Amino acid sequence: MRNALIRRGRRWLYIVHRWIGIATCLLFAMWFISGLVMMYVAFPRLTDSERLAALPVMPWNKVQLAPDRAMAIAGVERYPRDLRLAMMDDTPVYRVTGWQGEVITISAINGSVIDRITPDQALAIARHHPHAVRPRLIETVTRDQWSVTARFDPLRPLYLIGLGDPDGTELYVSARTGEIALDTTRRERIWNWLGAIPHWIYPTVLRKDGPLWRDVVLWISGVCLVVAVAGFWIGILRLRLTRRYARDAVSPYRGWMAWHHIAGLIGGICVLTWMFSGWLSLNPGGAFSARGITREIAIGYSGHDTPDIVAKFQSSPSMPAVEARFVWIGGHRLMLLDDGNGRRSLADPVTGAQMTLSRDEIIAAARHAMPGAAMTSARQLDQPDAYWYTLHHTRELPVLRIGFDDPAHTWLHVSPVTGEILDRSDDSRRSYRWLFNALHSLDFPLLLRISPARDAVVWLLSAVGTIISISGIVIGWRRLRRRKVRARPVSAGLVRTPS
C-alpha cells in the first residue's frame, strides 16, 4: 500500500511539473531576463532632488498668508501629515496633506483654494524644469502606464508635457494641485517594457485595479513556485552520484533534457528563493507591517498636536529656498528649507533665522515618539550597515538609529542635521529585508560592500535560471508537437468519406 502511494505521488509530481511547467516556463524566462534589465533601469519615479530642481526660488515678499491661516482654510483641526510652501510658477502656494493622502492647495497671496489649473499654467510650471527646451502639451491623461498606481489618485487628471530635450523627458503635472507628479525619459520608457513591466506583470489594464493585480500576481507566482519545487524534487530523485547511469552519467537525460536537469540542480535553490521572495513581496495575508511613519509616532515626536505653526512671518530667511516645510520637533516649531541643489537647513519660521537641533534635543523628542514604549538605544551610524544602505534608495549618512522596547522592537532612523524621521523599522520590516531584499536582490552585506561582485553573482545565477527556463520551453514545445503528430492518424481514422 505504501509503495503504491509513493508511486502515485511520484506520478502526480511528474504530471504537475511537466504540464504546468509547459504553461509557465515562458514566465520564468521573462522574469530572469527582465530582472537583469531592472538592475540598471528602474521604474520611473520622481525623486526629491528632481522635484526640487524644477522649482523656482521662493520670493518671500509675495507670501501674504501665514501657515496657521492656510491650515484654517484647509479645515485642518489637528497636526497634518505634511505642510509645505513652494512656488507654482509665479505664485507661492501652501500644500496641506492629510493623513488619508488628500492634498489641498492654497494660494499664499490671497488664501484662495486652488483645485484646478489650466494647460497654459501647467506649461508655465514645466518651463522651470532644468531640462525644459520647448515644452508642449502632449495630452491630458487620467491614467497611463507610468502613472498607473493609486498614489497618483489625489493628483489626477495629469497634464503630460514633453520638454523637447534630447533625453525625451516628459513631465506629469497635476491638473488639481499644480505639482510635478512624475517625470520619465525616453530611455526609461523603452527599457521598462523589457524590465519592470513584464517582471511585475504591470500592463495598465491590469495594474489599474490594485487588488485584482495583486491577486493575479500572487496566484501566478504561487503556481510557478509549486512548479519550481516539483522540478527540484524530481531533479534530486533522478540524480545518481554513486550508482550512475550508462557512460558514467549522473543524469539519465540527453540533450535539452540534460541541460534542464543539471541546470535545475545547480540553480534550483536560487530559483526557489527568487520565486518565494518574489511571492512574499506582495505581502500575502498581510504578513508584514506597513511602511512609513504613523500619525501617532509623528504626533509624539512633534510634541504638539494642534495645527498651529506661526500666525505671522516677521522676516524672511536668508537662504535662497525653493521649498519650506513646517514642522514641530520636540515642542520646537521649525521650518525646513530646501534649495534647488538639495541642500537642507533649519530655520525659525517666525524670524527666518537659522537654527540647529542638538543630538540631545533630537533624542529627547524621540523619547515621546512611541507612546507606551521606552527608548532602549540611540546610536549614530556613520557608515551603511545591513539595514541602512544605498543600493535601492538614497540614504542620508550619518543617521541616528533610535530603538524602543515596544513588542515590535521599533527603530527610528532620524537625521542628525534636521531632526526629521527618515524611516521606521520593526521586527516585521527587518524580516522582510532578509526574506525579500536579501533573497530576491542578493542584498547581502558582503556583496553590498563589493558592488561588482554582486552584479557578477546576479548575472551568473540569472544565466543559470535562463538556461533552465529556455530548456524547459524547448522540451515543452517538442512534447506538444509529438502529441499533435500522434493525434493526427487517430483523427484521420474517424473521418468517413461520403458514400
Task: Return the pLDDT at 488.
Answer: 63
Task: Return the pLDDT at 213.
Answer: 96
Place of cell 516539483: 230
pTM strictly above 0.85: yes
Q: Which of 401, 377, 376 has its CA nearest to residue 387?
A: 401
Alpha-carbon distance 422 to 398, whole Å? Answer: 12
CA 112 to chain centre: 35
At 265, the amino acid letter reads L
Residues 453-482 as b/e (b if ≥16 CB within 10 A, e otherwise) read: ebeeebeebbebbbbbbbbbbebbeeeeee
Alpha-carbon distance 37 to 455, whole Å? Answer: 12
Place of cell 526660488: 57
CA 75 to chain centre: 32
Q: How far is CA 290 from CA 121, 154, 293, 298, 425, in A?
A: 37, 20, 9, 15, 10
Alpha-carbon distance 235 to 347, whole Å? Answer: 65
Q: How far is CA 208 from CA 147, 205, 218, in A?
A: 9, 6, 16
Return phi, psi of residue 18, to 5°. -70, -55
Task: Return the pLDDT at 496.
Answer: 44
Alpha-carbon distance 297 to 309, whole Å? Answer: 19
SS3 label, residue 5: helix
Alpha-carbon distance 350 to 313, whole Å? Answer: 5
Burial degree of 239 (CB within 10 A; 0-12, 13-18, 19+): middle
Contacting residues for 183 by C-beta, under 8 A, at least 6 apart: 44, 46, 50, 129, 169, 170, 171, 172
Helix (H) or strand (E) holding 73: helix 67-74
Task: List the chain residues with pLDDT less than 50.
Answer: 490-499
